Amino acid sequence: MRGISKRVLCPLFFYCVLLIVSFNKASGQAAIYSTVLASGNSNTSLTVVCEGSSMQLLLVVHYTGFNYVSATYNNNASNDIGNIASGNDHISMFMFSAVSGGKQTVKLSVVGTGTYYTELFALKNVSSTNSISITTTSTSGTNASVSVSGESKDLLIGGIFDLSCGVTSISGATSQEKIASFTSPYAGEDDYVSASSSSKFSWSFSSSTSYTAWAVKISGTIALPISLLDFDTQYVPDRSIVDINWTTATEIDNSYFTIEKTTDGINYTTVATVAGAGNSDHVLNYSTVDESPWGGTSYYRLKQTDYDGNYTYSGTMIVNVPLHYAVNIFPNPASDHTVVQYNSDSPAPLIVEIFNAQGMLVSSYDFATVQTGDNRFTINTASLSQGAYIMRLTSGTTTTSHKFIKQ
């Protein structure tokens, strides 16, 4: 079995730490898809990538000095789910539901003077009726702990304010992720944990001074339609096709797959449709081909559709195909018009510019609707003076020039 291709598109930001934490894809366990980190003292925007079903966003803001902080997503205010304080340091948490796929941005606003450190979590497989519980404790001693009741599909996000309170143990967890410790405007450390069974998450700390610990439990009980192990696309030059392969570990009520491609990330074209297995608990390999790939850079994705019509998308794969297109201009010489016969291997828009013998631009045309294969565009030449002209054609990053005569 091939490993997951490293060519899956993943936009990187200079302040971004991307965590793919998949605790149990087949059972639909709540998981962190990605998280973005930022710090500062003024308003900011944080952008994460969201993929899969039932996405939610959780914004955790550690701050000091400000009168208050607030957050919006798609110009809608968030559900403020809790606040924690330890001396002059504060944590505010905001939740956004029904998040769309792709890049999503949350705006953080601050009032007053201060500094903050913030984390934006993109959470997947969170049920629409998710329960969020917050447990905090503030105590002193050498052996204190904070516990949250959890079940096998729950996710725990939490941490401590004081870096001197080292995390000595975490019980009731199958997997743990930890980001780098932070020191300004406070010290601390955050951790993400998954429950192993119906039990309690218990974090134990050692400290000789007073501190505050915080924890947020998020439930997720969605059964995903498929567990996708691999999705891969390869251009085969000697056959001029794109070979497409994918592998599933499990399938639940899976009706069919659709392969889609795009050049701009917005407008997608169907390449092929492949029937799913319905229900399966063992590894299945699928394959198909794109017999008419577009020239240049294209992006492929896998769409999975359930029996009930619900669907999910895979990540996006890049395919680069050498450009090969032909141009013919007739009649040449031209009188009142000429025709550009343009055989294209992609639907990218075509720009036609006409320059006179002195190199001056005298007219231009922008053809947005281009089909793969043969195209014919009429160019009005009635207003041009007699003489030689250069017609320049631009498609994407490729430019060609052709001479024609106006008689």
Q: Give Cα separations from 55 to 99, 106, 191 (angstroms).
A: 5, 14, 20
CA-based end-to-end distance of the chain: 64
Do residues 132 and 213 share a domain? yes
Give the pLDDT score at 271.
Answer: 95
Give the pLDDT score at 322.
Answer: 78
Q: Give Cα separations from 397 to 4, 65, 296, 349, 393 (angstroms).
A: 30, 50, 9, 11, 11
CATH number of the domain where residue 384 is located: 2.60.40.3080
In a domain, 346, yes or no: yes
State the total domains in the chain. 3
Please calculate the CA angle 152-153-159 and round it to the nearest 5 degrees.
Answer: 90
Q: What is the mean pLDDT of residues 164-187?
A: 49
In a domain, 252, yes or no: yes
Is it the case that residue 50 has pLDDT exceeding 60? yes
Do residues 360 and 380 share a domain? yes
In a domain, 3, yes or no: no
> Residue 206: pLDDT band by 50, 70, 90 thresholds?
low
In a domain, 161, yes or no: yes
Do residues 168 and 79 share a domain? yes
Do residues 232 and 184 share a domain? no
In a domain, 350, yes or no: yes
Do residues 108 and 139 share a domain? yes
What's this model's pTM, rounded to 2 decimal places? Answer: 0.47
Give the pLDDT score at 361.
Answer: 92
The tokens for 15 are 């302040």
Q: What is the pLDDT of residues 29-43, one digit of tens each?
A: 666 777 788 888 899
Give the end of a domain, one of 219, 242, 275: 219
Give the pLDDT score at 233.
Answer: 94
CATH number of the domain where residue 240 is located: 2.70.50.50
Give the end of a domain, one of 304, 321, 338: 321
Domain hosting 339: range is: 326-406
Do residues 168 and 270 share a domain? no
> Residue 277: pLDDT band by 50, 70, 90 thresholds?
very high
> Residue 273: pLDDT band by 50, 70, 90 thresholds?
very high
Strand partners, 334: 406
Do residues 169 and 44 share a domain? yes
Report whether 25 contacts 227 (CB < 8 A).
yes
For residue 276, which of 315, 243, 302 has the smallest C-alpha distance? 302
In a domain, 371, yes or no: yes
> Residue 287: pLDDT band by 50, 70, 90 thresholds?
very high
Give the pLDDT score at 94.
Answer: 86
Comparing 220 with 1, the larger pLDDT belongs to 220
Q: What is the mean pLDDT of residues 308-326?
A: 78
Do residues 164 and 83 share a domain? yes
Do residues 77 and 137 share a domain? yes
Do residues 304 and 389 share a domain? no
Do residues 137 and 175 share a domain? yes
Pairing of strands 55-73, 102-124: antiparallel
Give the end of a domain, one of 168, 201, 219: 219
Do residues 242 and 259 share a domain? yes
